[in-house]
Structure 1
Amino acid sequence: MKITGVECHFVDRYLLVEVHTDAGISGLGESGAWGFLESSAAAVEKFGRYLVDKDPLHIEHHWQYMYRFSHFRGSAIMGAISALDIALWDIAGKHFGVPVHHLLGGPVRDRARAYHHVFGSTREELLAGIKSARAAGFTAVGHLTPFLDEPRDRPFAVHTGVRLIEEAAEAVRLYREAVGSEVDLCVEIHRRLNPAEAIQLGRAIEPYRPFFYEDPVTPDNFDEMAYVASKISIPIATGERMTSLWEFQMLLARGAVQYVRPDVCLVGGISGAKKIAALAEAHHVGVVPHNPLSPVSTAACLQIAACIPNFALQEYPGEWSPPRSLLMSPPIGHDGNGYLMIPSDPGIGVTLNRDALEMLPEVKREVVTRLRTDGSVMDQ
């Protein structure tokens, strides 16, 4: 079996990648470099020229060959490698007639506990979303910010430091009050705080027992994250912006994280995510795969969740409705009790419906960076 071609699809806000073979088997992957999908597609095409006529089952060799090719990497390059790696694993699973996780040591679970995305531009919308997720059977909610999901073109207003912390802590209190102890809260800060603020807020929300405190500060400085972790008693989750095993190693060595958040579409695909999970296991750290993307990402994440012992929770952006739901089949199953079913079909478990591609035209992400009311740039 040999690779005959690589194909990119810009679909909605996503970049999907197909790898075709002369055996009639195609594999499906996705790039997680969401801000630079055009650049990632160019890297896919470049790597694709290398892959043509190669054996698709030599996955680790191809991963190393692409990774070591250039001395300069980043999210666009790693998103491309991730998409191709996922597609090659999809081909391997289909070739052997088994789900990918059967090729990675076999399943240790048959379903994956998930947290449901909750959005809201007002506190009332967020509270309604939490209650709705609980009513749908989810036992964890996430993407749950105490600062509201406001658009990037709206300046972020901060009146006083004390008000910033008090209002955020009050929001988390209300979230906990809304569902009691029936739902785990995954609190998402989106890197908006400096270390001093992150420590103050972390201590203030400790009584509400969040499942984790995600990205309280920017991930650029591992020592900074370790400092915050050392001053609070709630678990920190981070890693969605990281692109390599070695970054996670530095984070773990500093005791800076209790839940790692590798993005399977950014850290080198299924190959990269599996290695990061093993590294985290050696540190008794749980894995919560990052997943804000399409069902291709969800399916790939679930292959990891199926076969690693330290899986903790799966990010789940929610059910898709038409026309998006027509893009993939079969749909990812939810058991109504907080768990996603591990796909049992060969490969990653979902198939692209090419006839539906035109129903979801590309939506480009333009350069829009959040500002504060004083005009300075902030992270979101």
Structure 2
Amino acid sequence: MKVDRIETIHVLPRWLFLKVHTDVGIVGLGEATLEGRSLTVETAVKEIERYLVGKNPLEIEKHWQTIYRGTFYRNGPVLSSALSGVEQALWDILGKHLNVPVYQLLGGKVRDKIRMYGWVSGEKTGSYVEDFKASVADGKFTAYKTCPVPACQAIESPAVMKQVVDNVRALREAAKSHVDIGVDFHGRCTPALSKRLCKKLEQFDLMFVEEPVLPGDVDAMKDISRSTSIPIAAGERLFTRWQFQELIEKQAVAIIQPDVSHCGGIMECRKIAAMAEARNIALAPHCPLGPIALASAIQVDACTPNFLCQEQLTLGEGYLKKPFVVQDGYVQVPDGPGLGIELNEQYIDTKCFAGDWETPLFHLPDGSLTEW
């Protein structure tokens, strides 16, 4: 079996799907979405294609090492996302070739179902609390994440901090005690501001606070972790095990959040999780992306002992022939070969676009740019 070509497809709302075609008819699915830069990633995928065409797709580790190390320059969101999407597709091919799920090839599942968490708006007051109550009442999810932190200045006013606290309080009061709530700071806060906010939010028994500071300052992350009883989560903007190493070794977080479409792919995510397991750090993969990325993450979740909870933006409704189904907060581990999914090609044809999705820009009152 040899790789024949790589096909890329930009799919609304902002996703980049890819298909690795082989000369025996097996097609592997991957997702290399990088918000606001998917056209650039597509170019990187085409550069990978030049190497991969004619090669045996089953030699996944060999290809990963060659693509990652062979061009001198490593890491970064573009190259890592392109590699991640291609690597997912190679695992899909191997699973389909052997007629087993990917998780079986990674040692077999350690759980029968995967806990998922939903999203709830929290940046503005309004109907979001009622929407949250309705969602909790229907029993679909038992965990949610919200982002109540607005575009921030280095040190914010008491009024802004009070609004953040009030929004989280409204959700906590609306939820039953078995419902977990995570709060995403989205890297919008300085370490000083995050410390103040975490202290005020401790009363709500949060599942975690995510990205209290921007990636890269591990010492600040560790300092925040030591200053609060709330578990700290981070890692969505880190690439490969080497960038996760310091975060894990210093135990700067309680939860790591590699993104299977950015960190290097399925096996790399599993390796990062194993590193974290040795430091008693939980895994909650980042995935505000499409259904192929979610399917890839679920394969990792199924075979990873220190897995905690899985983010999702879509369960694949419309995009997949058989979307994932959440019941009592969980989806069953899929038993189909490869990633265990089939695309609904007719529906996807109606969702194709040019790939020119723009990252939203956030500004402070003085007109200066701040974090998304």
The TM-score bracket by the shorter chain reads: over 0.9
More deviation, 311-320/17-26: 311-320
Alignment pair present for 1:355 and 2:346:
yes
Do 2:155 and 2:192's aligned partners in 1 also have CA atoms closer than 8 Å? no
Q: Distance in 2 between matches of 1:307 and 1:30?
A: 20
**Amino acid in the other structure paired with 1:141:** Y
Alignment pair present for 1:14 and 2:15:
yes
2:178 is aligned, of 155, 176, 182, to: 182
Q: Distance in 1 between matches of 2:156 and 2:81?
A: 39
TM-score, normalised to structure 1's length?
Answer: 0.92
Alignment pair present for 1:241 and 2:237:
yes
**Amino acid in the other structure paired with 1:54:** K
2:364 is aligned, of 354, 364, 372, to: 372
What is the CA-CA distance between 1:156 and the residue it aligns to? 6.5
Q: Distance in 2 between matches of 1:282 and 1:156?
A: 35
Report the CA distance shift for 1:120/1:233 in structure 2 as closer, same or farther (over 3 A): closer
Do 1:242 and 1:267's aligned partners in 2 also have CA atoms closer than 8 Å? yes
Do 1:130 and 1:141's aligned partners in 2 also have CA atoms closer than 8 Å? no
**Amino acid in the other structure paired with 1:23:** V
Alignment pair present for 1:161 and 2:157:
yes
Alignment pair present for 1:332 and 2:334:
no
Partner of 1:151: none
Report the CA distance shift for 1:115/1:291 in structure 2 as closer, same or farther (over 3 A): same
Q: Distance in 1 between matches of 2:238 and 2:155?
A: 32
Q: Distance in 1 between matches of 2:190 and 2:154?
A: 13
Q: Distance in 2 between matches of 1:289 and 1:159?
A: 30
Partner of 1:343: 334
The CA deviation string for residues 161-208 of structure 1, in whole angstroms up to 9 with x for no partner, is 222222212221221111141310011111111111101110111111
TM-score, normalised to structure 2's length?
Answer: 0.94
Partner of 2:190: 194
What is the CA-CA distance between 1:217 and the residue it aligns to? 1.1
Map 1:83-162 to 2 at 5 A.
83-119=85-121, 122-137=124-139, 138-142=141-145, 144-147=146-149, 161-162=157-158
Partner of 2:212: 216
2:270 is aligned, of 270, 274, 291, to: 274
Q: Distance in 1 between matches of 2:249 and 2:202?
A: 24
In structure 1, list runs of 5 or more residues that go unmatched.
Answer: 149-154
Alignment pair present for 1:262 and 2:258:
yes
What is the CA-CA distance between 1:145 and the residue it aligns to? 1.6
Do 1:193 and 1:217's aligned partners in 2 also have CA atoms closer than 8 Å? yes
Do 2:154 and 2:190's aligned partners in 1 also have CA atoms closer than 8 Å? no
SS in 1 for 2:182: strand
Q: Distance in 1 between matches of 2:193 and 2:156?
A: 12
Q: Distance in 2 between matches of 1:158 and 1:255?
A: 26
**Amino acid in the other structure paired with 2:326:** H
Aligned residue pairs: how many?
368
The CA deviation string for residues 116-165 of structure 1, in whole angstroms up to 9 with x for no partner, is 111255323331232232123211011x02236xxxxxx76999522222
SS in 2 for 1:115: strand
Q: Distance in 2 between matches of 1:105 and 1:69?
A: 28
What is the CA-CA distance between 1:221 and the residue it aligns to? 1.3
Give the RMSD, CA atoms, in angstroms.
Answer: 1.8
Q: Distance in 1 between matches of 2:58 and 2:68?
A: 17
The CA deviation string for residues 317-345 of structure 1, in whole angstroms up to 9 with x for no partner, is 1445xxxx33322211212x000122111
Do 1:119 and 1:125's aligned partners in 2 also have CA atoms closer than 8 Å? no
Q: Distance in 1 between matches of 2:243 and 2:273?
A: 13
More deviation, 305-314/160-169: 160-169
Q: Distance in 2 between matches of 1:283 and 1:121?
A: 34
Do 1:290 and 1:314's aligned partners in 2 also have CA atoms closer than 8 Å? yes
What is the CA-CA distance between 1:214 and the residue it aligns to? 0.6
SS in 1 for 2:127: helix
Partner of 2:2: 2
Report the CA distance shift for 1:159/1:55 in structure 2 as closer, same or farther (over 3 A): closer
Q: Distance in 2 between matches of 1:20 and 1:145?
A: 39
Report the CA distance shift for 1:32/1:280 in structure 2 as closer, same or farther (over 3 A): farther
Q: What percentage of residue pairs aligned between the two structures are identical?
A: 38
**Amino acid in the other structure paired with 2:365:** T
Q: Distance in 2 between matches of 1:200 and 1:227?
A: 13
Do 1:289 and 1:314's aligned partners in 2 also have CA atoms closer than 8 Å? yes
**Amino acid in the other structure paired with 1:6:** I
In structure 2, list runs of 5 or more residues that go unmatched.
Answer: none
